[in-house]
Amino acid sequence: MKNFHSKKSALAKRIKLSDGYRTAIVFENDLVEICGFSKSHANKIINKKQKLSDAHKELLQLKLLGKIPGWPPGWYVIDGEISCPNGYLVNSIQMENFSFFMSIMGDIHRDLNRLQEENQKLRKELKNSSEIRVYTNNSTKAERTIRLVKK
């Protein structure tokens, strides 16, 4: 019996809801329970015959993704804690100590800028390189080298 239900849910029609950081899969029952739609209206939205309004989209993001209204993407409420864009979780006790929270925010911003700069540097390096070395099992010697031919 369990296999039938898992197969049925795997084959069920659904839509994806995303805010750029997280993605949730929305089924017909979610639209009925959260938004209060009828089954036929929810089915029309799933089949893309009707669009989901911005208000309903925001409601689904609040419920399914845990998004915090008015905050930038990447901030969520997970199990009563606030999840930062870099994965840190901040609870209510830490929020009471506002200066601590602001120092964490500074650290997060600094880490994010450093990672973005490193990402850009690696992208440029990869564009300019003519070979890629392949390492396996934490060895210091390259297992093989792949030569890149530019067209």
**Does residue 142 lie within any of the structural domains?**
yes
Burial-class residue 53 by CB neighbours within 10 Å (0-12, 13-18, 19+).
Answer: exposed
Same domain, 61 and 84: no
**Does residue 114 lie within any of the structural domains?**
yes
- Model pLDDT for residues 53-71, shown as the tens digit of each residue: 888 988 898 888 888 888 8
Check residue 102 and report its DSSP letter: H
**Does residue 73 lie within any of the structural domains?**
no
Same domain, 143 and 84: yes
Same domain, 90 and 32: no
Q: pLDDT-derived band of residue 104, with 50, 70 and 90 as boundaries?
A: confident
Choosing from 12, 41, 67, the residue where a domain stops is: 67
Contact status, residue 28 vs residue 46, Cβ threshold 8 Å: yes
Give the residue with greater pLDDT, 128 vs 24. Answer: 24
Same domain, 150 and 84: yes
Same domain, 24 and 89: no
**Does residue 72 lie within any of the structural domains?**
no
Choosing from 16, 44, 67, the residue where a domain stops is: 67
* C-alpha dihedral (91, 97, 98, 104), degrees to nearest 10: -60
**Does residue 26 lie within any of the structural domains?**
yes
- Model pLDDT for residues 77-97, shown as the tens digit of each residue: 888 888 888 888 888 887 787
**Does residue 89 lie within any of the structural domains?**
yes
Same domain, 92 and 56: no
Q: pLDDT-derived band of residue 120, with 50, 70 and 90 as boundaries?
A: very high
Whether residue 14 is predicted with pLDDT greater than 90 in this model: the reply is no
pLDDT of 37: 92
Q: pLDDT-derived band of residue 114, with 50, 70 and 90 as boundaries?
A: very high
- One-letter identity of residue 82: I
Give the residue numbers spanning the domain of 118: 79-151
Number of compact structural domains in the chain: 2
pLDDT of 7: 61
Phi, psi of 75 (to 5 degrees): -100, 125
Same domain, 58 and 88: no
pLDDT of 117: 93
CA pair distance 82, 134, nearest whole angstrom = 39
Give the residue with greater pLDDT, 38 vs 71. Answer: 38
Choosing from 67, 97, 113, the residue where a domain stops is: 67
